[in-house]
Structure 1
Amino acid sequence: MVGYARAACATFVVIPLFGWDRLRHPWLAVLIVVAAAGEASWFAWRAWHGPGRLSQRLVLTDVAFCVALMLVGSRAAQAHERNKLMTELVPFSLVASAGVGFGLGLGLLAVFAVVILMTAWSLAVLPDVSLKLGSDLLGFALWYVVAMLIARELRTLSAATAAAQDAARAAGRLAVEQEREAESLRQREITHREIHDYLLPIVDHVAGGGLPSPALVREARRGAQRARRIIMDPRGLDPRVLDGDGNGNGGDGLPEPGETGFEAMMSAVVDAFADEGLALVPFVAIQGEPPVPVREALVAATREALRNVVRHAGGVDEVSLFVEGDADAVLVVVRDRGVGFDPATVRPGGGLSGSYQALRRHGGQALVTARPGDGVKVTLRWPAPSTPPDGTTPPDGTTPSDGTTPSDAPDGEAPSSAAPWQTGPR
């Protein structure tokens, strides 16, 4: 700003040349024009491109030049006409006062520099002193004060801009870190699901002395294929890679091309547990596709619930699986009439800390209703209801041991689809 003002105000020193015949030393006025043009060019270049911009040395050098300009240049006019003919030196010198305000701010050195400028002009017009001298001196003071206040505002704005940029960069780094953590969490969830849902059941079956049935062999082959994909495929834990060969071709026991939707995934779960001999009575009614992460979390949680039935329910004649939903909401209920358990005496296992927790992270809800001797009911919802029916949400997702039902349907009534297995005592 000061560089622009210096370049513009340099043109004022040409005006006294128009009174050539009234000047005492015209050649001195020409010298003043040349010197002012040279100093203005140098000052503007330093202000725009110099490493220090309005450094203290640049400001004080400009003040010294203006003092010399006024004291020497005023001698080009007659003594009684100096204030009239050479007043055009004032606009040029006022820029020096503004430079002091911008470059030096408020301080003794700045005030001293402005006083020197005012004194120099007072001496330059002697003995032609008039009321106009007062306005000239006031101009030096006002340019300094106004420039100092503008500089303060600009510095405040600059500091606020720098702070905003720092905050934006910090927010960007935080977003990248959160995205990295989310991706890491997603990979841990998939790894947990692969180990917990596909490999551990096989290891547990073999460790328990179970016979290698055809269903177990198929499950072992499927688990080996998925584990091999995790280890060898550069795309790593991409679910599309785990659920096929990455080119749309289904693997052993996996959905075929065009059947990778939510209903097909649930059907594959039903087929897998039916092969294991689970007396499963399914009801699947899907009319839309929820988001892919939600779909994966619901399928994993359903597998976990059915796997727990196989492990812990004992001999059950019938296990009910109810799946209903669309792109906006899904309800999954797994109900068995096995031995049940007391939630107060059972330590949460991998389901509550893994598959069920993953569903909650995607905005869903997993509730387990259990009572000794009366089986277990697992209710999976997405999205989670804003207010649970009983007004509370147990921290571990398990309902109290009194057997109360977290379902929206009253006890003894079925949901909107009226699945027959949901009627009767819970």
Structure 2
Amino acid sequence: MDAGPWTGGHGRGGWTARGWTQRGYRTPVPCCHGGAMNPPTAPQAAPPESAHDRTRRMLVRALAALRGAQFLLGLVVLPLRGLPERHTGIIVGGYALAAVSAAVMFTLGIRRRTLSPRWIAADVVLAVLYAVVVSRSYPPADAASIGNWVIPPLCGVVVTAAIYGGRYRIPAVAVVVASWVVGAWPALATPSGQELISNTTMMTVFAGVAGLTGSLLLHAAQDADSATARAVAAEHQAARAEERAEQALDFHDSVQVTLDVIAAGTYPAAKNQWLAQREADYLRVLTTSRKHGDRAELATALARMIRDHPAQELIGGGVETRIDVLPTAMGPEVVEAFVKGAREALNNAVKYARTDEICVTAAADGRGGARVAVIDQGIGFDPASRPPGLGTTYSIKRIVDLGGEVVIDSAPGEGTTVELTWTP
């Protein structure tokens, strides 16, 4: 790894490794002495969009496109067929009012990903008005023909009401179609009377097909959501069962053996006390892990690494540990990067710090990620005169490549802090 991602530290002296995006996140890392860390609660990630919500959003966009095309058709028809000499203002004004109202309704609907019942009601009421008033403003021979711009938008209104009208969908469609018949009724006495019947049939059929199709799509989406929820629940249950089995095996292989050793009186009291404290720390993490389910992967992995690290035997009193509840949404590669980075920091503390005071802390960083720190009260060093070695470079590179950040903060005589941070 070249010197590119490494920059001079700040404060008392240090190295900072960052990924392509520099997070600029730097807060004091509390040592284990004095109690557990109490970081800010990590924000909950937004839940993924359900299939039902996605289908409703798709339907809103499709209906908006349909209504837009219908008003564009009216914009073409008006000048081509010509306007009657009387009531021109009513016809043009009604078109403008209906177009603006539909534009506002669908703009809000797209933003909110659904159409509210109030807007559906307003759309139906306005359609009733222009179905009667505008249609009666045309000469009887044109009232039921394609020259009447209200026909395409009325088809859009009944389709929208059939999908989003809820329990009022049938009355809403019936009122709109009846208003259209009332408005264009004079056309029955003209040669275009057949168009009144055909257009009325078209509106009714469109509404029925749209209502059935929309209902089937939404029910299918709900079924998909239910199946997904059941699959996720089963997966979580299986994962929890596997984790409980692993914890039971851990207890048997480590904690139970330690208890047997203590009971046999093999070691002096001081050694027994240290062994008991080590296993108590490990059990505490396992208990927290079981309580918080799938959030425990990083906590458990860190606890196992610390328990099995040679530092536990090489320094007096072992490694002090404080691991809080860690956030979700951490993939195995992130967990591995944290564990290997912390292990390398522990290796260096044992080899170079010349101290028995070493602690490891892990907590949520307040932004959905995690912060792991390895802190020693040893002799420290001057980072400016000693860049990271090969082992440190490669262990740090793992978390930096995932978008994380590593800060090595030290000064002669003041110990060393290695802080690893990752945020999704």
Compute the TM-score of the two structures, normalised by the length of structure 2: 0.46
Task: Give the structure with higher Rg (CA).
Answer: 1
Tell which has more relative contact order, 1 or 2 (C-alpha 8 A, sep 6+): 2
